[in-house]
Amino acid sequence: MAEEEIKEEVAIAENDTKKISSLLKWIIISLAIVFLVAAASGGFWYYRTHLSEPAEKPVEQTVDVKKGIWPMDSIIVNLMDNNGERYLKITIQLETSNEDCIPELDSLKPKIMDGLVDLLSSKEYIQIVGFEGKQRLRDEIAIRVNNYLEKGQITRVYFTEFIIQ
């Protein structure tokens, strides 16, 4: 009888071990499935937010305003330094915000040329020789010409010739 009880206890222990291992197996499988679903969801989210093409934005209707370029004659002025021994020869082209501005610029050409001669002749060599000096000069020219205009404005100033001698 003792042997039968031992065999029964061993059978019960084996049965409990099988139940525990079966339960453990289902827990591991469930955790693996949850992990895979979480990884797939995270990957899908990352793809949607970082790698996929952005949704098309509604196209805004814009009015196509044609910009115009107004070429100017060359201007030659003496610079302020060295008793006027140095001179500047500059050819400027002005980009306007719209083409309607060009006839206005043509009618204001004498005023604009006079203002630019005053501006350029008041400069010294050191003020206009470097990149920053040329950029500052472009800004000053745009401001000066914009003061004359009513229909539009100067958006960019181009130097097509810039000689200091």
- Per-residue model confidence as pLDDT tens digits over 26-75: 888 888 898 888 888 888 888 778 776 655 666 666 655 678 899 999 99
Question: How many Cα atoms sit within 13 Å of 7 on the Cβ side?
Answer: 4
Residues 3, 83 within the same domain: no
Residues 18, 80 within the same domain: no
Residues 73, 148 within the same domain: yes
Residues 40, 117 within the same domain: no
Which class for 44: exposed (0-12), middle (13-18), buried (19 or more C-beta within 10 A)? exposed
21 C-beta neighbours (distance < 10 Å), count? 10
Q: Which comes out higher in pLDDT, residue 24 or 89?
A: 89
Residues 73, 137 within the same domain: yes
- pLDDT at residue 145, as a whole number: 94
Note down the domain range covering 143. 68-164
Residues 88, 159 within the same domain: yes
- pLDDT at residue 23, as a whole number: 75
Q: State percent of the chain over pLDDT 90.
A: 48
Total domains present in the chain: 2
Residues 91, 145 within the same domain: yes
| Ramachandran region, residue 156 (left: φ > 0; alpha: ψ -120 to 50; beta: rest) | beta
What is the CATH classification number for the domain harbouring 146? 3.30.479
